[in-house]
């Protein structure tokens, strides 16, 4: 059986847990804790360890989704979790300029540690008052080998299109 490890990463509140929940065939494993301080104005809980989901593609292929925490204080986890990955999905919150700025750091971090295919996802594209995708793409200014797509990660079909994009790059 072929087993593929896909890392799902990105800044705080970019939608990583929701994205994995939308795709997983199993009840996801989550390590959520209450958020304190200024971040509590954005959301109530955050990932502090990892999120895990699994997709059974067919009898011969399984995809394992590993989600990282988004805060810098967990960068040691990012380093460990990228090991053995076949692809990296970097989500950003398209409605939050800070998320876009932080995403550049994620792209640079993973590009310096792995050569597996990467896809940046302008997530939360279903929200109002979102940043133009052309602006985001230009700001991140990633290597042309890094894919770039729009998505609404809470929507299973939209999340599947992201997964298809990274799988196409893995199999190329």
Q: What pLDDT is attached to residue 87? A: 98
Q: What pLDDT is attached to residue 34? A: 73
Supply φ then ψ for residue 46, to 5 degrees: -145, 155
pLDDT in 10s for each residue of the chain, 172 residues:
999 999 999 999 999 999 999 999 999 887 766 766 766 667 676 676 689 999 999 999 999 999 999 988 888 889 999 999 999 999 999 999 999 999 999 999 999 999 999 999 999 999 999 999 999 999 999 899 999 999 999 999 999 999 999 999 999 8
Element (H, E) at 58: strand 51-58
Q: What pLDDT is attached to residue 41? A: 64
Handedness of CA 31, 70, 68, 172 (dihedral sign): positive
How far is residue 83's CA from residue 126's CA, in Å, rounded to a whole number? 32
Q: What pLDDT is attached to residue 29? A: 81
Q: Report pTM.
A: 0.92
Q: What pLDDT is attached to residue 19? A: 98
Q: Which domains are present in the chain? A: 2-171 (3.40.50.300)
Q: What pLDDT is attached to residue 36? A: 64
Q: What pLDDT is attached to residue 152? A: 97
Query: Taking phi first (over 0 means left), then psi (-120 to 50 degrees means alpha), and beta for anything else, what does residue 143 get?
Result: beta
């Amino acid at each position: 059986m072929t087993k593929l490890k896909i890392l799902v990463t990105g800044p705080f509140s970019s939608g990583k847990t929701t994205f994995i929940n939308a795709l997983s065939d199993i009840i996801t494993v989550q390590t959520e804790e209450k958020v304190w301080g200024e971040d509590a104005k954005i959301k109530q809980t955050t990932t502090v360890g990892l999120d895990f989901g699994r997709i059974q593609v067919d009898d011969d292929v399984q995809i394992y989704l590993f989600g990282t925490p988004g805060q810098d204080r967990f960068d040691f986890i990012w380093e460990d979790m990228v090991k053995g990955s076949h692809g990296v999905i970097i989500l950003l919150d398209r409605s939050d300029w800070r998320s876009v700025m932080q995403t550049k750091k994620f792209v640079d971090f993973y590009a310096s540690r792995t050569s597996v295919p990467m896809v940046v996802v302008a997530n939360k594209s279903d929200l109002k008052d979102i940043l133009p995708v052309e602006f985001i793409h230009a700001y991140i200014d990633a290597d042309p080998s890094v894919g770039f797509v729009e998505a609404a990660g809470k929507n299973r079909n939209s999340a599947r299109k992201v997964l298809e994009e990274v799988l196409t790059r893995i199999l190329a």
